[in-house]
């Protein structure tokens, strides 16, 4: 299929898209490289766009928009959707997403972005939501249910985009038989609210006796999320604090304000909830797709892999988790050292937080089946991290 890769209403390039392999067989012309997906710019060589890594990475970028192979219970989801592989879903809705404005426009059509984007136009989500989140679901019956932004969602957790009162919300479940992730997302939101950190607001909901987290889409039809991974892609890798410092300098050079403070806030949160999964694709920046201006650091999101207790007994919690600082894995007591001015944090605002979390976990105890002992241990761990932060502030 000959088509044009679009960024909203801007033509990026013309190409042949293979509808079977889901790869780009040929690129005819690049019109606006500045409006291309950010990660592709470092591969662009104008003289020969087909014999360089540019075309290969264009295909890899597009494939990466799809549901990953490590999605929890992927085989069951594909069976319910009546497809063999996640790649089959990629072009069902022009490759559109709720994280950016890229789409494939078939040559010779008069399709308009305004008529198809998922920010303005409703989509059928009920069957996909059931296929993804329900314990028991039939095979999808309505073909229009495959024309949704759910085709372009990343991550390992079962999830689904829905619409409520015109707002796009993302629902996420737990991983396999673990159900703590949604509670961790809400805990992270509560901490961010109390400490004044910019964040995506998560709440709890239930879907067919399953607890899920629920958050609004923080991208609009005029913006896109550019992840840290994309930004760091063409920068030298040091495997040290230099990666962190160079990233901050890059964002500052693009005119974003208070970069260090906002990124430090993310690592303060990770310290408090012992978030093990701050990988380079769950933080980044927001860019205006019309002007290409870097608007701000993305609000803090995706905090579910936290408070992981290996096991506990009557006297001790057994914890082996570590956090991530770019390409490094570090103990949380080392991770927090990236914060240069820890005294700016008013830790008194976290007073009563373990009790708040205890109440939240008990509220859903009839669904999760958490024992009183497990809830108690989770709150002890949270309280321990708060007290550690207090001591760090006092001793700084």
Q: Which of 94, 93, 100, 111 is nearest to 147 (CA)?
A: 93
pLDDT tens readout for residues 45-75: 766 788 778 999 999 999 999 998 989 889 9
Q: What is the pLDDT of residue 253?
A: 98
Mean predicted lDDT score pLDDT of the chain: 93
Q: What is the pLDDT of residue 236?
A: 95
Mean pLDDT of 117-123: 97
Q: Say yes or no to pLDDT of 321 above 90.
A: no
Mean pLDDT of 177-202: 96
Q: Say yes or no to pLDDT of 351 above 80.
A: yes
C-alpha span between 174 and 184 (Å, rounded): 10
Q: What is the pLDDT of residue 5?
A: 98
Q: Helix crossing, 259-273 with 372-395: angle to 10°?
A: 140
What length is written for the chain? 396
pLDDT tens readout for residues 226-248: 999 999 998 999 999 999 999 99
Show the domains of the chain with their CATH numbers: 2-63 (no CATH), 74-91+118-216 (3.30.200.120), 223-395 (1.10.1070.20)
What does pTM read for this prediction? 0.94
Structure token digits, residue 264: 């430090």
- Give CA angle at 139 (138, 144), nearest 5°: 120
Structure token digits, residue 302: 């995706």
pLDDT tens readout for residues 246-283: 999 999 999 999 999 999 999 999 999 999 999 999 99
Mean pLDDT of 72-95: 90
Q: Say yes or no to pLDDT of 314 above 80.
A: no
What is the H or E stretch that residue 54 is in?
helix 53-63
C-alpha span between 136 and 115 (Å, rounded): 34
Of the chain, the percentage scoring pLDDT greater than 70 comes to: 98
Looking at per-residue confidence, does 309 or 94 come out higher? 94
C-alpha span between 26 and 129 (Å, rounded): 36
DSSP 8-state code for residue 299: P
Q: What is the pLDDT of residue 144?
A: 74
Q: What is the pLDDT of residue 304?
A: 95
Q: Among 168-177, 255-264, 379-388, which is the least confidently predicted range?
A: 168-177
């Amino acid at each position: 299929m000959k088509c044009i890769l679009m960024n909203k209403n801007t033509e990026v390039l013309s190409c042949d898209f293979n509808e079977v392999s889901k790869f780009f067989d040929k690129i005819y012309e690049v019109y606006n490289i500045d409006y291309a997906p950010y990660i592709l710019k470092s591969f662009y060589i104008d003289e020969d766009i087909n014999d360089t890594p540019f075309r290969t990475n264009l295909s890899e970028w597009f494939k990466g928009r799809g549901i990953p192979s490590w999605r929890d219970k992927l085989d069951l989801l594909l069976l319910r959707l009546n497809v063999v592989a996640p790649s089959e879903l990629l072009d069902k809705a022009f490759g559109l997403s709720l994280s950016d404005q890229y789409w494939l426009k078939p040559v010779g059509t008069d399709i308009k972005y305004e008529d198809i984007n998922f920010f303005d136009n409703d989509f059928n989500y009920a069957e996909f939501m059931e296929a993804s989140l329900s314990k028991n679901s039939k095979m999808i019956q309505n073909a229009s249910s495959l024309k949704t932004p759910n085709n372009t969602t990343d991550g390992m957790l079962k999830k689904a985009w829905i619409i409520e009162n015109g707002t796009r919300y993302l629902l996420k479940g737990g991983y396999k038989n673990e159900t703590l992730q949604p509670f961790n997302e809400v805990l992270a939101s509560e901490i961010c609210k109390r400490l004044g950190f910019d964040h995506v607001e998560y709440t709890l909901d239930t879907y067919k006796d399953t607890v899920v987290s629920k958050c609004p889409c923080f991208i609009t039809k005029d913006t896109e999320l550019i992840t840290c991974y994309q930004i760091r892609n063409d920068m030298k890798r040091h495997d040290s604090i230099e990666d962190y410092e160079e990233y901050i300098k890059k964002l500052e050079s693009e005119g974003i304000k208070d970069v260090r403070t906002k990124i430090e806030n993310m690592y303060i949160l990770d310290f408090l909830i012992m978030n093990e999964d701050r990988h380079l694709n769950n933080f980044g920046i927001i860019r205006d797709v019309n002007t290409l201006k870097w608007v701000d650091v993305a609000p803090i999101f995706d905090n579910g892999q936290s408070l992981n207790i290996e096991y506990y007994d009557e006297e001790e919690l057994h914890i082996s988790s570590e956090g991530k600082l770019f390409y490094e894995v570090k103990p949380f007591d080392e991770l927090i050292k990236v914060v240069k001015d820890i005294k700016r944090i008013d830790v008194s605002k976290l007073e009563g937080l373990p009790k708040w979390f205890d109440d939240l976990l008990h509220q859903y105890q009839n669904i999760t089946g958490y024992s009183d002992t497990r809830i108690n241990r989770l709150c002890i761990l949270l309280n321990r991290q708060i007290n550690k932060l207090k001591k760090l502030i006092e001793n700084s």
